[in-house]
């Protein structure tokens, strides 16, 4: 196994076990006589992210001014379905939505923000018609 693949494998194993900062990873690599730069380590983290399984993802958090990375393994949500009684509705007024130019413009803004994963700030909600 090449040094690069061994390094990626070791980093991936460490991040599955516990959250580590960049400096912690660099120290562990130095102990194995594998010295790399911070820039190379960031490239390695990007490579690791692309090699993870579907249920895994590389996530990070900040603590004391340092960025810590770890591999989060998603577990399926297991719960029993509970049936509840509902009232059947035969008639609603939802089909009579009035789309003015202003409402259409706002809907397009919201769709664009969702698509580009931006935050929305809502100042006022008013009832129309």
User: Closest by alpha carbon to 27, among 14, 9, 43?
Assistant: 14
In sequence order, the β-bridge partners of residue 20 are 69
- pLDDT recorded at residue 93: 63
Name which residue leads in pLDDT, 95 or 30: 30
- In the chain the domains, ranked by start, together with CATH numbers, are 3-73 (1.10.10.10)
Q: What is the pTM of this model?
A: 0.57
Rounded to the nearest 5°, which phi and psi values hold at 87? -95, 130
> Residue 81: pLDDT band by 50, 70, 90 thresholds?
low
User: 71 near 57, Cβ under 8 Å?
Assistant: yes
């Amino acid at each position: 196994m090449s040094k690069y693949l061994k390094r990626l494998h070791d980093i991936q194993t460490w991040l599955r076990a516990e959250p580590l900062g960049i400096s912690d990873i660099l120290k562990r690599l130095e102990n194995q006589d594998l010295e790399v730069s911070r820039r190379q380590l960031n490239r390695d983290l990007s490579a690791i992210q692309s090699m993870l399984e579907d249920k895994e993802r590389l996530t990070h958090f900040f603590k004391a001014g340092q960025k810590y990375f770890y591999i989060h393994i998603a577990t399926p949500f297991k719960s029993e379905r509970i049936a509840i009684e509902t009232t059947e509705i035969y008639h609603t007024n939802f089909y009579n939505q009035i789309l003015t130019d202003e409402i259409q413009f706002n809907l397009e803004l919201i769709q664009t923000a969702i698509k580009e994963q931006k935050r929305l700030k809502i100042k006022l909600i008013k009832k129309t018609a």
